[in-house]
Structure 1
């Protein structure tokens, strides 16, 4: 039998969680109901399979009882404990939770701790808004509760039933992993670096399973999560553009841990300056007022690009160089001197030799070169076929070295 973990705060969501448990049992799965309540109105032991006290014991540094009087601290502590509890279990075939803002924040980290591919469904009152902080770089399916998760009614019964059938269907009909013995390599891509990444993929796909990630902030995090998880043999990080949004204030930022997975793992790593000429915003009317006088380009009705200045490029190059200096494994960074994106070329809207020169100089100045950590400038555009060939050659060399 496949086992689904139903997780939530039974002090306030008990009827909804027990309703989910019944429907999932009826669908043919075993169920473990985990109560993560933090108030004094906790469930009777007979109502749940795992009590809050059992989950709390997994906290690496259990808070004192008086700290649980502060609900915010209590939720944060229980969330940390739940992550370790879920990691300790070996029978989690799927997980489902339901809650409001507090419950969603409590449950989501434990879902993110599970491997990609493990079914995860979270019914939430915040699921119609920005769910990036909850989903992160994982495959959580979020379902908007429509009404508050506060008792059973004609709406909540239908929504919760759909969620229960969804998790049961995912668990009972999980597709077996394909027998692909090719090692996996991660690549990062944007529309303006697509020709380069496609050429690299074509050159490698006979020997490698090429996983391409869209460099939209969470895309880069997913790329590095797989590296941290030991699922990649290396990375070809063509499109490091998320650093621009992180440092300047765009909508697709990386985190302060960008490049961290490769520093921690020592995996073979090849990178370039893909789309470091741009910061991303939404539709034109969403561009912050302080940037309205800058060089802007409408990529599509929902995406407006802003050209990075020489000063910003200097910061970006230094930040990347400092992060890559932490990598002990084989690193190859290739600088395409004739342009870093499809719109950074003579006659294109973001062609700016001065800004590119500042970027390249900062990278050269900051990156400490060793036998393993190398940087090279090449007289090519990033989308030139020869540049893709150089990326492939350097990746193979890095793999041999690793």
Structure 2
């Protein structure tokens, strides 16, 4: 099979013509093909793009004149973003592209996130941006497998500094397009959330047991970005079922931590009607960036330093009740089968009796609140077990087996 791959290069060719053409030349120099997409509004490129600004606007149901006449650059860029995302998705569906690279500042990055979100997992997506990794970018806008590189020294014109970034990105997207192994989808996929084995261990027993039943299992690290990837895939219906046992990112969000998967955490499976089993892993902890100040809402509470990047704050009883209500509110929106497994003896290895973060009274308060607010569409199953006990894993497997027997889940 040929190594030739086609990369879609997207940007405002009226203002970044030199940079975009340089990227295209690097890709071609490495044996790749290039399609160009111009998302300018006012100006024109030095030579015609494969997909002009008129093509882009029309793909989104608008015209360039509408973008100009609106008199607002934000409105204009949203028109172009809609068209660029629609056109990119169409090109991928037609087999015309193998990867995408989008270049921009804040305006271009805003558009780039929409373009990359329109493409499925496994299609290489590279954003070259002056605001890569910036807190300007909300987690809910990030596609599951997007890659970013900082466009250093590239605000205006080519130079040796920005060429280093641009050439890396060009080589990276072409190399990724050649090397990528897209998801096969030959077995039904179960998505699971967790943390490392020092705090949550159920996946050690569940993964092989589920695989023996014919499923593929993907475990997502619920530290903000992992949960965002999990949610985006759940919402698009990529999972046959989800085992969302580590909902802590929802607590992070409502308590003001920047380690967040966004306000839609714990809603993706519900929106797509995907069967879901949820539980309370690390419900009692709020993670925050260890080298930053504790979020104001958590000042004065006990802190556990996990490492130099990550610290955790123990929730008060009132905050645990707030977490219970937030979980119930998210689950109440679910359109598919929903089971809430409630291990009565605790939700992480540190909260066992005698453990460093043990708080039996706080656990009782949380359990009682969750009982009271559990939505009618969710089946509540209380377990005389800790979340890391074998009994918890067995209960989850019983629910999976029941769904298989009922035809809710199909294993081929």
Question: Do both proteins adopt the same fold according to a TM-score greater than 0.5, normalized to the shorter chain?
Answer: yes
CA shift digits 1:192-215 (9 cap, x unpaired): 543122221132122221100011
User: Comparing 285-294 with 230-239, which one deviates more in the overlay?
Assistant: 285-294
User: Does 1:308 pair with 2:315?
Assistant: yes
Q: 2:123 aligns with which of 108, 111, 118?
A: 118
Question: How much does 1:167 deviate?
Answer: 1.8
Aligned to 1:391: 396
User: Does 1:165 pair with 2:204?
Assistant: no
User: Does 1:222 pair with 2:229?
Assistant: yes
User: Does 1:57 pair with 2:36?
Assistant: no
CA shift digits 1:53-109 (9 cap, x unpaired): 210112256693455422222222321222122122221211112222221222222
**Distance in 1 of aligned mates of 2:291 and 2:364:** 28
CA shift digits 1:295-341 (9 cap, x unpaired): 22112222211111111111211221122122232211111111111
Aligned to 2:264: 257
Q: 2:109 aligns with which of 104, 111, 136?
A: 104
Q: Is the 8 A contact 1:238 1:272 kept in 2?
A: yes
Question: How much does 1:253 deviate?
Answer: 2.1
Aligned to 2:73: 71
Aligned to 2:88: 86
Question: How much does 1:357 deviate?
Answer: 2.2
Question: How much does 1:131 deviate?
Answer: 7.6
CA shift digits 1:20-78 (9 cap, x unpaired): 1222223222211101012x22225x431111121011225669345542222222232
Aligned to 1:246: 253
Aligned to 1:150: 156
User: Comparing 136-145 with 268-277, which one deviates more in the overlay?
Assistant: 136-145
User: Does 1:325 pair with 2:332?
Assistant: yes
CA shift digits 1:108-137 (9 cap, x unpaired): 221122111101122221225448537724
How many equivalent pairs are there?
Answer: 397
Q: Is the 8 A contact 1:189 1:214 kept in 2?
A: yes
What is the SS of the residue equivalent to 1:143?
strand
C-alpha spacing 1:169/1:348, structure 2 compared with 1 (3 Å): same
User: Does 1:7 pair with 2:10?
Assistant: yes
What is the SS of the residue equivalent to 1:83?
helix
CA shift digits 1:337-360 (9 cap, x unpaired): 111111112112322223222322
User: Does 1:344 pair with 2:351?
Assistant: yes
**Distance in 1 of aligned mates of 2:182 and 2:228:** 25
**Distance in 2 of aligned mates of 1:359 and 1:127:** 39
Q: Is the 8 A contact 2:138 2:262 kept in 1?
A: no
**Distance in 1 of aligned mates of 2:373 and 2:116:** 38
**Distance in 2 of aligned mates of 1:49 and 1:181:** 35
Q: Is the 8 A contact 1:220 1:242 kept in 2?
A: yes
CA shift digits 1:123-176 (9 cap, x unpaired): 221225448537724212211222124222222233322222222222234346
Structure 2: 5+ residue runs without aligned partners? Answer: none
**Distance in 1 of aligned mates of 2:299 and 2:375:** 37
User: Comparing 212-221 with 248-257, which one deviates more in the overlay?
Assistant: 248-257
Question: How much does 1:286 deviate?
Answer: 2.1
Q: Is the 8 A contact 1:331 1:398 kept in 2?
A: no
Q: Is the 8 A contact 1:215 1:240 kept in 2?
A: yes
Q: Is the 8 A contact 1:193 1:239 kept in 2?
A: no
Q: Is the 8 A contact 1:381 1:387 kept in 2?
A: yes
What is the TM-score with the length of structure 2 in the denominator? 0.89
CA shift digits 1:368-394 (9 cap, x unpaired): 335xx3101111111111111111211
RMSD: 2.3
Q: Is the 8 A contact 1:11 1:42 kept in 2?
A: yes
What is the SS of the residue equivalent to 2:156?
coil
**Distance in 2 of aligned mates of 1:307 and 1:176:** 40
C-alpha spacing 1:218/1:33, structure 2 compared with 1 (3 Å): same
Aligned to 2:374: 367
What is the TM-score with the length of structure 1 in the denominator? 0.91
C-alpha spacing 1:393/1:311, structure 2 compared with 1 (3 Å): same
What is the SS of the residue equivalent to 1:194?
coil
